[in-house]
Amino acid sequence: MFIVIGGGGKVGYHLARALIADHEVLVIEQDPARVEFIGEDLGSDVIMQGDACDAATMERAGMERADLVVAVTGEDQDNLTFCQIAKARFHVDRAVARINNPQNESLFRQLGIDSTVSATQLIMGHIEQELPWQGLIQLLTLGGLDLEIVEVRVPREAHTVGKPIKQLLLPQGALICLVIDNEGQPRLPTPETTIKAEDILVAVTSIEGEESLRNALTSPVP
């Protein structure tokens, strides 16, 4: 695949380094010092100096034959513009954007960005898991489908403990796809599978349904 990465900061650099063995990769970066560093480390054909949101720069980058663009700058507005121009002007199939302000996630999806990755959201998920009320970790959002895969740990006091899956009232469209017990043994759930305390559940849900799924699985016995 030909992958164009917008932004040659830490994320862009490490991403390029990881992809370079199997793909044709080009990083577009404005800062000459970063351009020089990446050029020396990964090769001068991997980096291009310029404004990634400038249509002329994109044309020079060969954007019309890109299979995938990934926007990873620290500014949401730059990531959005890069992806929107790549899709609207150069008909790039897939655009992945890093989200810095988690509030922008659903807007980006609504505007046609295929996948979004929010470090803030991921870290929040992990912190929330440590808190007594138990949270939910977003593992992955599915391209163009408004669906995500999440991980939920069942707290000891949850009303779901001891119930078979068929008795759970899950929100519309949510599906439990994997149950991992506290010994780390994964099982494919059936309607009869009983939820135990400390089970890790991997589920698919709509992004809007996330909060109700969390409540359905983790709220304590009333």
Partner 1 sequence: MFVIIMGCGRLGAELATILENDGHEIAILDIDKYAFDHLPPAFKGKRILGDGTDQDTLRKTGAERADAFVAATRGDNRNALASQIALHVFNIRRVGSVIFDPLREEIYHELGLRTINPTKIEAQLLRESIEREEP
For partner 1, the binding residues (CB under 8 A) are 53-56, 75-78, 80-81, 84-85, 88-89, 101, 103-104, 107, 110-111
Closer to partner 1 by CB, 85 or 136: give it: 85
* Dist CA 28 CA 186 (whole Å): 42
Smallest separation, CB 89 to partner 1 (Å): 6
* Dist CA 219 CA 222 (whole Å): 8
Closer to partner 1 by CB, 124 or 178: give it: 124
Contact 71, 104 (CB under 8 A): no
Smallest separation, CB 19 to partner 1 (Å): 25
Smallest separation, CB 103 to partner 1 (Å): 4
Smallest separation, CB 176 to partner 1 (Å): 31
Closer to partner 1 by CB, 112 or 220: give it: 112
Closer to partner 1 by CB, 77 or 215: give it: 77
Smallest separation, CB 51 to partner 1 (Å): 9
Closer to partner 1 by CB, 101 or 120: give it: 101
Report phi then psi at 173, rounded to 5.
85, -5
Smallest separation, CB 67 to partner 1 (Å): 21
Closer to partner 1 by CB, 111 or 149: give it: 111
